[in-house]
Amino acid sequence: MILEGEVGVNIAGIPSCDIGNFSLILDARGFFEPDWPRKDSSAAMKFIKMQGAGNDYVYIDGFRETVTDPSALAVAMSDRHFGVGADGLILILPSQVADVRMRMFNADGSEAEMCGNGIRCVAKYAYDHRIVDQKDIRIETGAGILTLQLFTDDCDRVSRVRVNMGKPRLSRSEIPMAGAPEEQVVGAELRVLDRTFEITCVSMGNPHCVIFVDDVDEFPIEHYGPAIENHPLFPRRTNVEFVQLLSPTEVRQRTWERGAGETLACGTGASAVTVAAVLGGHTERRLLNHLRGGDLEMEWSKDGHIFMTGAAVQVFEGDYQPQ
């Protein structure tokens, strides 16, 4: 595999669009070898690496590239030692019902319905590459069509995105969870390993199990996260959010993502946390959520919709050539 990317250089006081980029070639071991002979690039696939609050994905433009086995490609490219390194793979595709369509694959190759941080980066790519030219757009996902508002910098590149994440789904059948189909799970007890947790479960188009803890930084998420993710209560597995309450308007979140393990952020998870915190009487309807990769501004509006605002950042772009 060869990564041949263009890495942007940021210099204080100068817009990034006015600064030239430089190229690098990395071999499969990650060593810089400027004189290393290049392979035939005809089989290479162009990609872009982007992140939202540290939730990083490899993105492929399906308007220009063809991916025949996205699950296998997600596993290969997401590998942080032998691939590009990411939480997963997102395809940016044409849509018959919206401006663009996204498909998301976790690092283990499983396909997920949606990614809140990922969809902001899809919107950035679509606008910055002029797939769309308006700042209010619609994106088709496995969880339905979402609307987004784009905010641009001095170079007319998207820097922040506000996403209407839709209405939360609270019944067991919608999440999905085993049990009475119409029952909501708010503050219910769940025994896992050696501990009993109070859980609130929410679907934002994908399943989430929210647990409030006293000290989220010290909590052993790697111990309990996999056990809850794969608990038989959740037939499609679940994402798990561990949350510390800081004030009525502020929380700190860590996420164990289904199919990916702990990630630095989860936008649908932050949406679920907002719902769980309000339903539990812990917070107001507007929150600042501190995640390990950055902050997200959250709001559960009176009409029932969840709104999430956060950054969308390009890391680098390049060519991927499988071995």
| 43 and 86 inside one domain | yes
Look at residues 47, 44, 50 and name the one whose alpha carbon lies nearest to residue 314: 50
- DSSP character for 11? B
pLDDT of the residue at 25 = 38
pLDDT of the residue at 5 = 44
Place of tokens 């994908």: 206
Distance of alpha carbon 323 from alpha carbon 321, whole angstroms: 6
| 39 and 63 inside one domain | yes
| 293 and 316 inside one domain | no
CATH number of the domain enclosing 78: 3.10.310.10
Asked whether residue 180 is domain-assigned, the answer is no
pLDDT of the residue at 43 = 75
| 41 and 148 inside one domain | yes
| 267 and 195 inside one domain | yes
pLDDT along the chain (323 residues), means of 10: 43 45 38 40 84 96 95 96 96 98 96 94 98 98 96 97 97 97 97 97 97 98 97 97 98 96 95 98 98 97 97 96 77
| 11 and 159 inside one domain | yes
pLDDT of the residue at 42 = 56
Catalytic residues: 115, 266
Query: Which secondary-structure segment (H or E) carries 159?
Result: strand 158-166
pLDDT of the residue at 79 = 96
pLDDT of the residue at 322 = 74
